[in-house]
Structure 1
């Protein structure tokens, strides 16, 4: 029986040189040092909580004279209604936007000064002008917005002091922020409306 070429090749004796090569390879693999242990991950340094920076405080400017305070935002507008005229100061004509109303009751010839705010009863209303300061008594009045109102006769000299105050006047009402408003012509017009009725 004849052998196929494959079997003939497989049946060849293993030579010593082949064994020597295999033995040498095994010997070399034994000389390779073992893989090093993996280095442990470095331990992170403990984090120290840093204190948060304190917010920068901007000092509130102080003024020696009330006339140096910044003006309250807003503008005046003149309103004529049946029985009264008004000068309205604020950022807009909404109840939230109105800060101050000066109104003339044409029938009684009295001028009302109304500052937006609430109070349970009467409070002091201090008006500061270039030439005079005067404390009035104001009481709560419910209208479209709650107001604290003081009334003056149309002939009261305080109204002239307000109208002709150098650039502005201040209004301080207990329980509200002081406002610094320009002395614009709308105020004079309301006062004149009341005086012209006499």
Structure 2
């Protein structure tokens, strides 16, 4: 069982080790948060065709499939779809104008991503995140 930090303590929790990487391809752009082994644990994708920003948490979660995002100013739980092939992940899509994306990009240095059954992520709000959001606008 994965233990989550109490909701009111997430800003003080140790940062998740890793770094952001910005990538672009024929389908859009992405900000991937990579751990020390260069495996992605979370990403934001600008899906040019659908005109949406996908939030992706890699791993297998317990039901119900919900991604909770916490920023300095906003907390929201969003239904997500679990995918198993070829690597398991949860995904949800937001409109580029969704205020949650601005809350993530402008959060005081970090934001949190929580999924039941997976370790919580405490991620820095770096330029790669803002760049993907702006790519979709």
TM-score, normalized by length of structure 2?
Answer: 0.88
Quick check: 1:154 aligned with 2:86?
Answer: no
Q: Which residue of 2 aligns with 1:66?
A: 10
Query: Could you list the per-position Cα deviations for residues 77-109 of structure 1 after superposition, in whole angstroms to 9, with x for gaps in the alignment?
Result: 000010111000012575xx2110110101111
- Counterparts in 2 of 1:62 and 1:170: CA distance versus 1, 3 Å: closer
Quick check: 1:77 aligned with 2:77?
Answer: no
Q: Secondary structure at the match of 1:66?
A: helix
Aligned 8 A contact 1:130 1:161 in 2: yes
Q: After the TM superposition, which residues 2-151 of structure 1 pair with which residues of structure 2 at under 5 Å, given as runs?
A: 65-91=9-35, 94=38, 97-119=39-61, 122-142=64-84, 144-151=86-93
Following superposition, the deviation at residue 145 of structure 1 comes to 2.5
Quick check: 1:173 aligned with 2:92?
Answer: no
Aligned 8 A contact 1:63 1:69 in 2: no
Cα distance between partner residues in 1 of 2:91 and 2:36? 20
Bigger mean CA offset, 167-176 vs 135-144: 135-144
Bigger mean CA offset, 123-132 vs 140-149: 140-149
Structure 1 unmatched runs, 5+: 1-60
* More helix by percentage: 1
Following superposition, the deviation at residue 143 of structure 1 comes to 5.2
Aligned 8 A contact 2:17 2:36 in 1: no
Higher RCO, Cα 8 Å, sep 6+: 2
Cα distance between partner residues in 2 of 1:154 and 1:64? 28
Moved beyond 6 Å, runs of 4+: none
